[in-house]
């Protein structure tokens, strides 16, 4: 998931297939040594990673700042969007990265699922703190293009 065949960190190009199933094993005593090894191997990359697997869970808070705006659609209808200004985790701004992969018109559950896949964080550990309910999102930087 984290390392390529040469043992180098994939740096954002992680392989997350079966991620949730693998992370579910972290609490089983049978796999404690394996997860301790993974945690130790990843510890040198703690400044790059938002989550390092461990048998002790810590919630990852994601702060989403948005404003609600009425926008004219191509057909001339008025649509209300929650326009994302910033998405931050531990004070690190990931708005541009999320804007490049998120679909306009999706919601906060979509943000949570996307973050989980992108950053290899178990979905159960992601807590979205939104200043307004995200029902139909758009990104400010997409609107400024």
Tell me: the pLDDT tens digits for 83-124?
A: 999 999 999 999 999 999 999 999 999 999 999 998 999 999
**Residue 131: pLDDT over 90:** yes
Nearest to 113 by CA among 2, 19, 25: 19
97-105 long-range CB contacts below 8 Å, 24 or more apart? 98/139, 99/139, 99/141, 99/142, 102/137, 102/139, 104/137, 104/138, 104/139, 104/142, 105/81, 105/136, 105/137, 105/138
Claim to verify: residue 76 and residue 100 sit in the same structural domain: yes
DSSP 143: H
Claim to verify: residue 72 and residue 139 sit in the same structural domain: yes
DSSP H/E element including 140: helix 140-143
Claim to verify: residue 32 and residue 89 sit in the same structural domain: no
Claim to verify: residue 46 and residue 64 sit in the same structural domain: no
pLDDT of residue 141: 65
Domain boundary, last residue among 19, 34, 54: 54
Residue with tokens 């550990």: 125
User: Of residues 9 and 70, which shows the higher confidence score?
Assistant: 70
Domain boundary, last residue among 54, 71, 97: 54
Claim to verify: residue 41 and residue 68 sit in the same structural domain: no
Nearest to 104 by CA among 59, 74, 60: 74
Claim to verify: residue 98 and residue 80 sit in the same structural domain: yes
Claim to verify: residue 95 and residue 136 sit in the same structural domain: yes
Q: Of the spans 16-20, 53-57, 124-128, 136-140, which averages the highest pLDDT?
A: 124-128
Domain count, the chain: 2
Residue with tokens 């960190």: 9
Q: Please say whether the beta carbons of 50 and 119 come within 8 A.
A: yes
3-state DSSP assignment of residue 145: coil
Tokens of 86: 């910033």
Claim to verify: residue 25 and residue 85 sit in the same structural domain: no
Claim to verify: residue 77 and residue 102 sit in the same structural domain: yes
Domain residue limits at 85: 60-143
User: pTM of this prediction?
Assistant: 0.85
Claim to verify: residue 104 and residue 139 sit in the same structural domain: yes
Claim to verify: residue 29 and residue 67 sit in the same structural domain: no
Instruction: Give 20-32 pLDDT, tens digit per residue.
Output: 898 999 999 999 9
Instruction: Give 32-73 pLDDT, tens digit per residue.
Output: 999 999 899 999 988 888 999 988 899 999 999 999 999 887
Claim to verify: residue 78 and residue 118 sit in the same structural domain: yes
């Amino acid at each position: 998931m984290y390392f390529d065949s040469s043992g180098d960190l994939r740096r954002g190009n992680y392989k997350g297939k079966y991620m949730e199933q693998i992370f579910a094993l972290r609490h089983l005593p049978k796999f404690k040594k394996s997860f301790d090894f993974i945690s130790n191997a990843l510890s040198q990359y703690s400044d790059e990673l938002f989550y390092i697997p461990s048998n002790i869970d810590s919630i990852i808070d994601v702060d989403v700042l948005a404003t609600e705006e009425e926008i004219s659609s191509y057909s001339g209808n008025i649509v209300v969007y929650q326009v994302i200004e910033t998405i931050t985790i531990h004070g690190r701004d990931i708005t541009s990265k999320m804007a490049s992969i998120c679909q306009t018109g999706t919601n906060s559950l979509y943000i949570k699922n996307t973050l989980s896949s992108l950053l290899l964080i178990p979905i159960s550990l992601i807590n979205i703190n939104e200043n307004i309910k995200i029902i139909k999102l758009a990104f400010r930087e997409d609107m400024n293009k």
